Structure formats: C-alpha cells, structure tokens
Amino acid sequence: MGFKTYLAKKFVYLLILIYFVISLNFVIFMLMPGDPTAVFAGAARLSDPVALEAVRARFHLNESMWVRYVSYISNMVTFYFGYSFYSGKLVSDGIGSRLANTLALVGLSTVLSISLGTLLGVIASAKRGKLFDTANVTVSLMFFSVPSFWIGMLLLSIFSNWLGWFPNAGAIPRDWAYNPPVNVFQELIGRLHHLFLPVLTLTLFQYGGYLLLTRATMLEALTEDYVVTARAKGVRERSILYKHALKNASLPLITNVAISFGFILSGAIITEQVFTYQGLGFWLWQAINTTDYPVLNAMFFIIALCVIVANFISDLLYGVVDPRIRYG
C-alpha cells in the first residue's frame, strides 16, 4: 500500500469518524433533560402560547426526530449552528466574536509551553542527575500538579492586586468602550497587557508535561547505538541532542502536540473564568450554566473536529519525521 492509498484510506476513516461524532452529539443532546423552549422563553421573557410555538418552529423542535436528525447533520457539515437559546443570536456570530481572543490566549500559551518544555527537557536529559535536571523536574512537577486556577489567582494577587502592573479582568481595556485605540500599535499593546497574566498561567501549567515527556523520550534515545556511534566519531553534543536524539524521540511529542492544538478552540475554561477573559472557554461555561444547547452542540462538534483533524495530520507527520515508517 503506497502513500496515496494510505492517505485515501485515512481520509475515509476521518469522514466516518466525523459522521459518528455528529450522530453521537445529536443523540446526547436529544437525551438531555428539560425543554429547550422554556430556556429560550425564559431568556426572552415570552409567555404567549403563539410566541412559544413560533420559537419551537424556529428551532425545528416541532418536527419529527428523523427530520431534525437530517437537518442537524446538514447544519453541522455546513457550519450553520443555528441560534442560541439564551441570546437568540446566531451561534456562528458568537464564535466569530470570541475566536480571536481564544486563539491569542491558548495558541500563544501552547506554543510557548511546547517550546519551553521541549528545550528544557532536552537540556535536562543531557544533564541527568545534576542540579539543573533535579531543579527543572521538581519545578515542572510542582506547576504541573497544582490547579491552573490557583496559579492564576496567585499571579493576580501578586501582579495585579499588590503590584498593580497588570489588569485583573477582561481581554481589552475597559476604557476602549468610549475611547478606542487610535492605531494598531496601541491596540496591540493593550491586548498584550491583558494577555500577559492568562498566557503566563497557562504556560506555567502546561510546560511541565512537555518537559517530562521530552526528558523521558530523550533518555531512552540517548542510550541507542547510533548515539554511542556518533559520540565515538566526535560529533558535537549539541548535534547529537538536537539532530539525532530529539528527531528520533519526537514521535510521542508529535502526538501530544497534535492533541494540544486539537483542543485549542475549546478555550481555557478555568483560566478564562479566573481572568474574566471573553474567549470561547468563558462562553462555553456560560452556555453550560444557561443550558444553551445550540452553543454546546456547536462547541463540542468543533472541538471534536479539531482533535480528529489534528490526529490525522500527526499520522502523516510520523513518516516525515521518522523515515523508518512505511505506508505499505
């Protein structure tokens, strides 16, 4: 089986898996307790039976289960997620208005934690048993073990409440509502000022996992014969670590990184709550509290889709990183 056949087979599996996720998502929310009409009626303060029936028609709640299932699949495939029960606005508009905030927060913290964890993991593996290795493993385990909300509240107490260096809430300055930024540079500075503490929280919480994984895989790779041969030939230690050992130890890292980026659109629910950061995670938590099924439906589908695609890409990257892998 060649690469093209393998790619086509994986793509078919991907489509089947997406269909299964859509169907499972539909079944789960159909089995949810409560009347969605009552949720929307309570938010919109509706009590007239005619108006309530119009609401049911708007959300296709008065149709048969089969018709709703077909309509649901069509909506998910076309990314038309309908209207929010709570706000009455298009779910896609809500996602669009919060997407940039989440990508900035989770994307930046993920890149930083992966880079920092991998770099420190490689160095720690090269200095196994020494002070640098012991200190890094201890610190990473500490941050990896404590809850992210504790890290966030600690940073808020020190850098916001005590020192007053950074704001304690929001994704943008409050005064932008009546005094918007005059140029791109001012807007960038304002957003970065609000991003610093949430990004630092997530980076400290996440980097330890990458450090420990990199260190473990590197320690195994450094005992291989090709590393001993390279050292015997006089190859520089830096080249051995980064060009030989890290490349061969990177397969578990690729899987971990793919999963991390797959969940990037889920937001950081806890961290966004601590900092009142208006991202997709904060919105998802609000949807849970208000039983906003269309928002939950859309978010669960998008998260699942991102994870599926990320794993598909990681499968393809295995052969690029490790030439020993064959597709046939």
Instruction: Tell me the pLDDT tens digit for each residue of 144-159.
Output: 888 888 888 999 899 9
Query: How much is the mean pLDDT over the chain?
Result: 80
Per-residue model confidence (pLDDT) at position 40: 55
Per-residue model confidence (pLDDT) at position 327: 57
| Percentage of residues of the chain with pLDDT beyond 90 | 1
pLDDT above 70 for 28:
yes
pLDDT above 70 for 168:
yes
Q: Tokens 């578990």 sit at which residue? A: 252
Query: Is residue 32 exposed (0-12), middle (13-18) or buried (19+ Cβ within 10 Å)?
Result: exposed
Residue of 210, 206, 211, 246 lying closest to 227 (CA atoms): 246
- Side chain identity at 327, as an amino acid letter? Y
Per-residue model confidence (pLDDT) at position 11: 83
Q: What gap in Å lies between CA 188 and CA 61, rounded to an integer?
A: 44
Q: What gap in Å lies between CA 195 and CA 189, rounded to an integer?
A: 10
Per-residue model confidence (pLDDT) at position 55: 64
Per-residue model confidence (pLDDT) at position 236: 82
Q: How many CA atoms lie within 13 A of 75 on its CB side?
A: 22
| Chain segment 218-254, per-residue pLDDT in tens | 888 877 777 778 778 777 877 878 777 777 777 778 7
90 phi and psi, to 5 degrees?
Answer: -60, 135
DSSP secondary structure code for residue 177 in this structure: G
Q: What is the mean pLDDT of residues 252-278?
A: 78
pLDDT above 70 for 50:
no
Q: How many CB atoms lie within 10 A of CB 312?
A: 18
Q: Tokens 């905030």 sit at which residue? A: 101
When pLDDT is cut at 50, 70 and 90, the band that residue 67 belongs to is confident
228 or 124: which carries more pLDDT confidence? 124
Tell me the whole-structure pTM to 2 decimals: 0.79
Q: What gap in Å lies between CA 158 and CA 16, rounded to an integer?
A: 50
Kindly give, in sequence order, each residue whose CB lies less than 8 Å from that of residue 70, ignoring residues fewer than 6 positions away: none
CATH superfamily of 91-321: MetI-like (1.10.3720.10)
266 or 170: which carries more pLDDT confidence? 170
Q: What gap in Å lies between CA 31 and CA 33, rounded to an integer?
A: 6
Going from N- to C-terminal start, the domains of the chain cover 34-78, 91-321
When pLDDT is cut at 50, 70 and 90, the band that residue 65 belongs to is confident
